[in-house]
Amino acid sequence: MYCQVIVDIVHENVAKPFTYSVPEGMELSEGQRVAVPFGRMQKEGVVIALTEQSGIDIGRIRSVIRPLEDYAAIPPELMALAKEMAGQAHCPLAETLRLMLPAQLRGGRVRPRTVKAVQLAVPREEAEDVIRQEKRAGKRIQLLTNLLDGEARPVQALSAIVKNPREALRKLEQDGLIRISEEEIMRTPEASFTEVSDPGWELTADQKDALDEILPALKSGEGRFLLHGVTGSGKTEVFMAAVKETLALGRSAIILVPEIALTPQMVSWFRGRFGAVAAVIHSRLSAGERYDEWRRILRGEARVVIGARSAVFSPVRDLGLIVIDEEHESTYLNDHRPRYDTRDTAASRCRREGATLILASATPSILSFARARRGDYMLLEMPRRVGGHPLPEVLVTDMRQELENGNRSVFSGVLHKALKDCIARNEQAILLMNRRGYNSFVSCRSCGYVVKCPNCDISMTYHTDSQSGLLRCHYCGYAQMPPSVCPECQSRYIRYFGAGTQKVEEEIRKQFPGVTVARMDYDTTSGKDGHGKILEEFRSGRARILIGTQMIAKGLDFPRVTLVGIIAADLALNLPDYRSRERAFQLFTQVAGRAGRGDRKGKVIIQTYRPEDPVIGFAARQDYRAFFESEFRRRRNSLYPPFTNLARILAESEREEAAEKAIAEMERDVRKMTEDSPALGKKVLAMVNEVPSVRFLRGKHRRQLLMKTLVSAETDELFGKITDLIAQPRDGVEVILEINPTTML
């Protein structure tokens, strides 16, 4: 017998499988991990095929050293998925196989936890005879008496009955009366969860309608749905019912949520609802817990898996359902190697394994909604909130007017008054101040004009960290000095947008002395469980106002919140990214959805210098459809994804000239390819060789080649060829290809 093994090495030159012989008496199966000799070293690998013939010179074949586990760590469905993904991402199979295994398994960094356990080795009668014959009830007899029922007992448990039992146990073992063995114990996280049982609600009409479509699909093992339900429409309850049905059919379910939503509250809630068949995978698990959860899933003991992106690779038995909650979140796109979009990966798994897919959101991504409209997904809509709660009222305030009236504080008159009333009524407020990264854009406080790139219709970025003080376009590299007077209205109030969450907190303290504030942003949540503590302070009601970045927009359910203020809508609208309008609309809708979830009506105030921006209008009316139509049209007219691909080849090196040289060579090669093939040439719309806005990162100089291409077979082929090109070893330069990455900094 021979086997083909993918050796776990990150090196392009060893992407292909190696043949090893299987020693007599060793049983191996596909997907099993093995230790193999590799050069003068020993390496780990995965068996991808077993064959009778070797196909190569027998004399040179070496043999497998040993299996690493006595089971296949990668089941056949995941093996097929890994192969498909490697083909699509143009990357070695070793890289996609790695996604299918818990990181700790590789390199043997975790092992099952075992304890010494003791068990009777003879029939009960025989042991009873021994006990009767003994006159004095010493340690041996006491131990034996406690083992009469034949159960295996941990040595530790016996020490509670008999002090220092080891010597006595050794004697009993020598006499052949007991057996001492290693027993495995599972490290199950949150084993002591608070019991939250099924509330047994009567489903709303919208929930029933959605389930009327989903439940039959589960039975026949098919169906792809996009569940578009407004905030508070009760989407979670729909998944729960779908999961319950999946379990009743004897199958398994995977529920994917953004990592940030995996709060302890949510975890205990799932555990409470589904008990021990639920495995919850989140970043706070220890290596051992993660490994044990993975094995519980592999063995079919856990049949509902809740986790972030990577849980889509859970080796569940008989997959029946995958749910992707908040499907519009950018965390579902993995833009490191190997690149994948969780939504596509899930769709592929569901197709292969005969399972149902549900994508859910209050603000679906442009891509998914476009697909639903085309008929790839069945659209299920839940336009009403549970319990007849109305959607909150949204007001837009014009900050240009405020400036004219002499108000230079971060709060408009309307928001200030609303905050005062909210506090007086003993209710709570959320203030959003989203600010990402250290870069900003330049805008006019008098008329709202924003400096945009003349080539790209994208706001230009001002680098607050650089000395140059230049404005740059992230897409095409165009640069210019920031204007000192506004080209539209000649005002001198034109500068970069500088305020952050801290500034908002200071203002609250000044304007509302004595009111307790909680602030949640990157700085305040970095400590262990900083996140949970801040939310707890707000949940308990100790803090009356929660200030935060986009972190606070997601899935929080605080019934006492009646006011949401979006301090600077312009910050979200003007991120230098073609998706900024989509993200801004999502952010405003999601954060507005935090207001009025209890019995009292909610109010949302959007502050902006551009009230005439259509996105502000769509958000104010909470009109997803109108937003979608407008954005879809804009993407088509300006040639942005999903109509095109934005790709970049990025070179990083400690030596600046080396990075520059690598990109120059890539540009030369790619240009040659487009010149050689006119069909391809027509599909490549733009190509720019430039210095990225982050020119130096983690000790490396960076250069990039940006490309905008139409979506086509020719350009797919081009990306394949580029992948082969960048795989060639270069001295001290790392080159990567990214297609529609989440950021291009």
Which residue, 79 or 257, has its beta carbon nearer to ligand ADP? 257
Site for ligand ADP in 223-242 (CB under 6 A): 229, 231-237
Query: Using CB under 5 A, which of 50, 180, 447, 470 touches Zn ion?
Result: 447
Query: How far is Cα of residue 461 from the mean position of the Cα atoms in its chain?
Result: 27
Output the smallest distance, CB 456 to Zn ion, in A: 3
Output the smallest distance, CB 310 to ligand ADP, in A: 22
Site for ligand ADP in 663-682 (CB under 6 A): none
* 607 sits near ligand ADP (criterion: CB under 6 A): no
Output the smallest distance, CB 204 to ligand ADP, in A: 5
416 vs 730: CA distance, rounded Å: 59
* 455 sits near Zn ion (criterion: CB under 5 A): yes
Task: Tally the C-alpha atoms within 13 A of residue 81's C-alpha that lie toward its C-beta.
Answer: 26
425 vs 418: CA distance, rounded Å: 11
Output the smallest distance, CB 741 to Zn ion, in A: 17
* 258 sits near ligand ADP (criterion: CB under 6 A): no
Which does residue 237 bind out of Zn ion, ligand ADP, none, counting CB within 5 to 8 angstroms by kind? ligand ADP
Q: How many residues does the chain have?
A: 745
Site for ligand ADP in 532-591 (CB under 6 A): 557
Q: Choose one: 198-206, 286-294, 296-304, 439-447; the region binding ligand ADP (CB under 6 A).
A: 198-206
Which does residue 386 bind out of ligand ADP, Zn ion, none, counting CB within 5 to 8 angstroms by kind? ligand ADP
Site for ligand ADP in 146-165 (CB under 6 A): none
Output the smallest distance, CB 329 to ligand ADP, in A: 13
- CB count in 10 Å sphere of residue 62: 12
Output the smallest distance, CB 189 to ligand ADP, in A: 24
Site for ligand ADP in 406-465 (CB under 6 A): none
Which residue, 17 or 593, has its beta carbon nearer to ligand ADP? 593
* 476 sits near Zn ion (criterion: CB under 5 A): yes
* 449 sits near Zn ion (criterion: CB under 5 A): yes
Residue 248 per-residue DSSP state: H
b or e along 377-406 (b: 16 or more beta carbons within 10 Å of the residue's beta carbon)? bebbbbebbbeebebbebebbbbbebeeee
Q: Choose one: 187-195, 351-359, 374-382, 477-485; the region binding Zn ion (CB under 5 A).
A: 477-485
Residues 6+ away with beta carbon under 8 Å from 733: 651, 652, 653, 658, 659, 661, 662
Helix (H) or strand (E) holding 270: helix 264-274
* 263 sits near ligand ADP (criterion: CB under 6 A): no
* 201 sits near ligand ADP (criterion: CB under 6 A): yes
Q: Choose one: 201-209, 337-345, 412-420, 698-706; the region binding ligand ADP (CB under 6 A).
A: 201-209
Q: Choose one: 369-377, 384-392, 447-455, 657-665; the region binding Zn ion (CB under 5 A).
A: 447-455
Output the smallest distance, CB 386 to ligand ADP, in A: 4
Which does residue 455 bind out of Zn ion, ligand ADP, none, counting CB within 5 to 8 angstroms by kind? Zn ion
* 203 sits near ligand ADP (criterion: CB under 6 A): yes
Q: Do 577 and 743 meet the contact criterion of CB atoms below 8 Å apart?
A: yes
Q: Do 290 and 281 meet the contact criterion of CB atoms below 8 Å apart?
A: yes
- CB count in 10 Å sphere of residue 629: 13
Which residue, 489 or 694, has its beta carbon nearer to Zn ion? 489
What 3-state DSSP class applies to 268? helix
* 473 sits near Zn ion (criterion: CB under 5 A): yes
277 vs 267: CA distance, rounded Å: 13
In order, the DSSP letters of 393-434 are EEEEEEHHHHHHTT--SSS-HHHHHHHHHHHHTT-EEEEE--
What 3-state DSSP class applies to 32? strand
Which does residue 235 bind out of Zn ion, ligand ADP, none, counting CB within 5 to 8 angstroms by kind? ligand ADP
- CB count in 10 Å sphere of residue 221: 17
Query: Using CB under 5 A, which of 453, 566, 616, 707 touches Zn ion?
Result: 453
Helix (H) or strand (E) holding 734: strand 733-739
Output the smallest distance, CB 269 to ligand ADP, in A: 10
Can you list the alpha helix ranges (DSSP code H) found in 480-529?
Answer: 501-511
Which residue, 237 or 656, has its beta carbon nearer to ligand ADP? 237
Which sign does the torsion angle of CA 587, 592, 595, 596 carry?
negative
In order, the DSSP letters of 624-646 are HHHHHHHHHHHHHHTT-TTSEEE
Which residue, 489 or 710, has its beta carbon nearer to Zn ion? 489
* 652 bridge partner residues: 702, 734
Which does residue 342 bind out of Zn ion, ligand ADP, none, counting CB within 5 to 8 angstroms by kind? none
Task: Tally the C-alpha atoms within 13 A of residue 487's C-alpha that lie toward its C-beta.
Answer: 9
Output the smallest distance, CB 437 to Zn ion, in A: 18
Quickly tell me which residue has 């498909």 as its tokens: 84
Query: Using CB under 5 A, which of 332, 369, 462, 475 touches Zn ion?
Result: 475
Output the smallest distance, CB 520 to ligand ADP, in A: 19
Which residue, 232 or 338, has its beta carbon nearer to ligand ADP? 232
Query: Using CB under 6 A, which of 312, 386, 616, 662 touches ligand ADP?
Result: 386
20 vs 58: CA distance, rounded Å: 10
Which sign does the torsion angle of CA 188, 235, 311, 82 carry?
positive
Output the smallest distance, CB 484 to Zn ion, in A: 12
Q: Do 719 and 739 meet the contact criterion of CB atoms below 8 Å apart?
A: yes
Cis peptide before 642 (omega within 30 of 0): yes
639 vs 636: CA distance, rounded Å: 5
Which does residue 240 bind out of Zn ion, ligand ADP, none, counting CB within 5 to 8 angstroms by kind? none
Number of residues that bind ligand ADP (CB under 6 A): 14
Q: Choose one: 237-245, 443-451, 463-471, 546-554; the region binding Zn ion (CB under 5 A).
A: 443-451
Angle (nearest 5°) at CA 223 between 220 and 225: 145
Output the smallest distance, CB 196 to ligand ADP, in A: 11
Output the smallest distance, CB 473 to ligand ADP, in A: 37
* 20 sits near Zn ion (criterion: CB under 5 A): no
Tokens of 340: 């994948």
Tokens of 363: 């603000």
Which does residue 203 bind out of ligand ADP, Zn ion, none, counting CB within 5 to 8 angstroms by kind? ligand ADP
- CB count in 10 Å sphere of residue 206: 21
514 vs 445: CA distance, rounded Å: 31
Output the smallest distance, CB 342 to ligand ADP, in A: 19
Own/partner long-range contacts of 66-69 (Cβ < 8 Å, ≥24 apart): 66/26, 66/34, 66/35, 67/26, 67/28, 67/32, 67/33, 67/34, 67/35, 68/32, 68/33, 68/34, 68/35, 68/44, 68/108, 69/32, 69/33
Output the smallest distance, CB 545 to ligand ADP, in A: 22
Which residue, 112 or 264, has its beta carbon nearer to ligand ADP? 264
Q: Choose one: 133-141, 485-493, 502-510, 666-674; the region binding Zn ion (CB under 5 A).
A: 485-493
Query: Using CB under 5 A, which of 6, 304, 306, 456 touches Zn ion?
Result: 456
Q: Which amino acid is at 64?
A: V
Which residue, 232 or 611, has its beta carbon nearer to ligand ADP? 232
Which residue, 71 or 201, has its beta carbon nearer to ligand ADP? 201
The residues that touch Zn ion, with contacts defined as CB under 5 A, are: 444, 446-447, 449, 453, 455-456, 473, 475-476, 478, 486, 488-489, 491
Residues that bind ligand ADP (CB under 6 A): 201, 203-204, 207, 229, 231-237, 386, 557
